[in-house]
């Protein structure tokens, strides 16, 4: 399938590629998309027996630019410590694929796309999607690329959900799964936080039932949604260490005096406001609704009467799970639950809980132990 | 001071009383209110030597109707297990006082009141207030009632902050303090969640810079603020136990199918939406801004270079602190910090962490151990 390989003059940089998958794309909910465009990046070259492909799945607000240079932001990719030359996932050894998820807003079909049947933006006529639908879209991309089997699927957070689901939906196409800071189902508290975000978006009059012009989205609501979510990505300990009760622009020696007002008085407020506002410049509100909804529906054990082990029955895939001590969004207990289910299913599984004060976001930050664990696991399997 | 006693034909019921404190009321931030009205309830009778008065301080969204019947909601008061005939705080033994906090929206002067100097609603011209200002307003009420010394100040959550601050601001007027599920300062995470709520309110166009007509408040934004806050009042464990991933209106035997939509699909969503919406019927958005701000500014150790023990130096007040295992809003660590400071200050202090799956809200729910602890502490001190 050499024809599908990237014509890449610099195989470490990514190509900003798109592909249109022909035919209807069937969804879990019973509907189908009349067209599926996938935006993706590849790094490195597929080897002769197409055995060195690694799929990286991104989290809720990330994109396909996992490594190299992100042409939209002008910044480096989002997982530079794990992916890149000399890193555990290495374009000199692996053919690395990362695609924008179904429902996303970075090139893959989502609510911001035009429905070819109506020539209108989908907006809220876009069908509700699931993590499984995201995985199936990635499988269609692999078909297009001529890759039958993945050496590994790797992801953190929602990316970890996709990685786990790959082993359930397409067990014969995945040799190894690395699932970091993730869960096999969304908890009531996870759903609750997402619902706050969705309600914040929908409460913004600019949302207009989802039919906003793409250049005039519900910025205020989306910013509030991001602020609420962002708190869940950090730990109480991390917030205290980073900001404590320090006052904005008054962190000088002596006795800083509060301003007694509603401006961003504390540094943590200023930080959150910035996080909220900058997010609205790179993300679409309707995509946020659809992707959070997909995560809420995620429950790998549900089709098996809640017995997660049955979802993995007969698996030949190897698994590595990593959790972080201060992650309260997808806490270690959820990873342990997955490990128990995998053990019950007779799967090969390694698991480590790593010390970190940085909460859920730890998987994106400097985590040398995580890098070593993933490196060792991938090398042992290839 | 018999003249100040309530003329109460049924001293267990409360009286829906108001008092206007004469003169300017000076605030921590340097401004003053030209008028201070306090709405309060009393239960029981003040004894001859005025030694049986107990002040109860309410939490962020509560009111003065701690016991008996709330004429506004038609429901019982908010702390019936602790306050009432035969309870640890008993109108047959105590003269019980509970006033709506300064900045509130249940009768005490707040941003919804008319500024007598301008004949306009204060709205956002209301000065920013602090927990100390709330305490000083209560002290003015006690002066009016002819009560020099309180047998006890009792409160949970923000009520606990006021109770602690009473011992710092007016040490000679408080014999005992009971502070439940509280903290001596707001953490970065606490501030962050409040800021999300404030931004949600301010993002609502109906907020109109705070100048909304009182019958047309920013319902959508206030509801989102309440939803976000409400998650912090419950534990992950409690949410899972109460709702899990159960679907709304589909919790029937067999295999409930998700609806694949954005309606309140999960029970936890329906519950949160109800909590948000019903809150807007009983609370004012601007009051929410001012009271959350007061909590964020709360840091008892701040005027003493962060050494909390110095705030309590020389105190003769007895203290009882109670925390709950699953309270992640004001976790046990914060109570322990207060206890250590009180020990260092040589204060008499008892502390217990109680097992509960109900998170922060545990202090309002059925907590028999808490009732016993408070009863024992109050009886030993009187």
**B327 a catalytic residue:** yes
Residue B192, min C-alpha distance to chain A (Å): 6
Read off the pLDDT band of A6 (50, 70, 90). Answer: very low
Q: Which CATH superfamily is domain A2-187+299-381 in?
A: Alpha/Beta hydrolase fold, catalytic domain (3.40.50.1820)
Query: Can you say how many angstroms the Cα of residue A67 is from the centroid of all Cα atoms in its chain?
Result: 14
Residue A87, min C-alpha distance to chain B (Å): 34
Return the pLDDT at A16. 79
For residue B220, the chain A residues in CB contact (below 8 A) are 199, 203
CATH of domain B2-186+300-381: 3.40.50.1820
Return the pLDDT at B362. 97
Query: In degrees, to the nearest 5, what angle opens at C-alpha B80 toward C-alphas B20 and B13?
Result: 50
Domain-by-domain residue ranges, chain B?
Answer: 2-186+300-381, 190-291
For B163-180, the pLDDT digits (tens) are 999 999 999 999 999 999
Phi, psi of A352 (to 5 degrees): -145, 135
Q: Take residue B269 and report the two structure tokens written for it.
A: 């969503």
For B289-303, the pLDDT digits (tens) are 999 999 999 999 999
Q: Which of B99, B157, B287, B356 is catalytic?
A: B157
Q: How far is B105 from B40, CA to CA, in rounded Å? A: 12
Number of neighbours of residue B76 by Cβ within 10 angstroms: 13
Could you identify the residue written with the tokens 């609510």? A111
The matching CATH number, chosen from 1.10.1740.10, 3.30.1360.120, 1.20.1050.10, 1.10.1740.110, for A190-291 is 1.10.1740.110
For residue A272, the chain B residues in CB contact (below 8 A) are 192, 195-196
Return the pLDDT at B259. 77
A251 is in an annotated binding site: no
Return the pLDDT at B254. 41
Inspect the interface and report whether the beta carbons of B268 and A195 lie closer than 8 Å.
yes
Regions of chain B with pLDDT less than 50: 1-9, 252-256
Q: What sign does the dihedral B364-B366-B372-B375 (CA atoms) show?
A: positive
The residue among B319, B325, B326, B301 whose CA lies nearest residue B311 is B301
Least confident interval from A3-17, A72-86, A367-381, B363-377: A3-17
For A341-372, the pLDDT digits (tens) are 999 999 999 999 999 999 999 999 999 999 99
Q: Please name the member of A205, A236, A265 whose beta carbon is closest to the beta carbon of B189.
A: A236
Q: Which helix (H) or strand (E) holds A295?
A: helix A285-297
A173 is in an annotated binding site: no
Please check whether residue B79 is in contact with residue B364, taking contact to mean a CB–CB distance below 8 angstroms: yes
Return the pLDDT at A258. 73
- The CA dihedral of A107, A113, A116, A121, to the nearest 10 degrees, is -170
For residue B261, the chain A residues in CB contact (below 8 A) are 128
């Amino acid at each position: 399938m050499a024809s599908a390989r990237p014509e890449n003059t610099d195989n470490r940089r990514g190509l900003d590629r798109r592909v249109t998958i022909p035919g209807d794309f069937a969804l879990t909910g019973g509907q189908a998309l009349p067209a599926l465009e996938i935006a993706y990046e590849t790094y490195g070259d597929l080897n002769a027996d197409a055995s060195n492909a690694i799929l990286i799945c991104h989290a809720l607000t990330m994109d396909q630019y996992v490594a190299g240079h992100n042409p939209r932001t002008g910044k480096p990719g989002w997982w530079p410590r794990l992916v890149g030359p000399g890193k555990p996932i290495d374009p000199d050894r692996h053919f690395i694929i990362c695609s924008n998820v179904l429902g996303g807003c970075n090139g893959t079909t989502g609510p911001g796309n035009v429905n070819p049947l109506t020539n209108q933006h989908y907006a809220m006529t876009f069908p509700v999607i699931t993590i499984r639908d995201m995985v199936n879209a990635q499988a269609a991309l692999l078909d297009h690329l001529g890759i039958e089997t993945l050496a590994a699927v790797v992801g953190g957070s929602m990316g970890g959900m996709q990685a786990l689901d790959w082993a359930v939906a397409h067990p014969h196409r995945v040799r190894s799964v690395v699932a970091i800071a993730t869960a096999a189902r969304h908890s009531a508290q996870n759903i609750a936080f997402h619902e706050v975000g969705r309600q914040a978006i929908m409460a913004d009059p600019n949302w207009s039932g989802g039919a906003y012009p793409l250049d005039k989205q519900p910025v205020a609501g989306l910013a509030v949604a991001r602020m609420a979510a962002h708190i869940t990505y950090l730990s109480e300990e991390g917030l205290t260490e980073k900001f404590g009760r320090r006052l904005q622009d008054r962190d000088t020696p002596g006795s800083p005096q509060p301003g007694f007002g509603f401006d961003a008085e504390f540094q943590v407020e200023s930080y959150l406001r910035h996080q909220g506002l900058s997010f609205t410049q790179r993300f679409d509100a309707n995509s946020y609704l659809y992707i959070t909804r997909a995560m809420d529906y995620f429950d790998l054990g549900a089709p098996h009467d809640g017995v997660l082990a049955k979802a993995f029955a007969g698996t030949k895939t190897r698994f590595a799970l990593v959790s972080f001590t201060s992650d309260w969004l997808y806490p270690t207990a959820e990873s342990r639950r997955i490990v128990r289910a995998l053990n019950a299913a007779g799967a090969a599984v390694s698991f480590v809980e790593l010390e970190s004060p940085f909460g859920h976001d730890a998987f994106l930050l400097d985590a040398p132990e995580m890098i070593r664990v993933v490196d060792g696991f991938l090398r042992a399997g290839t």
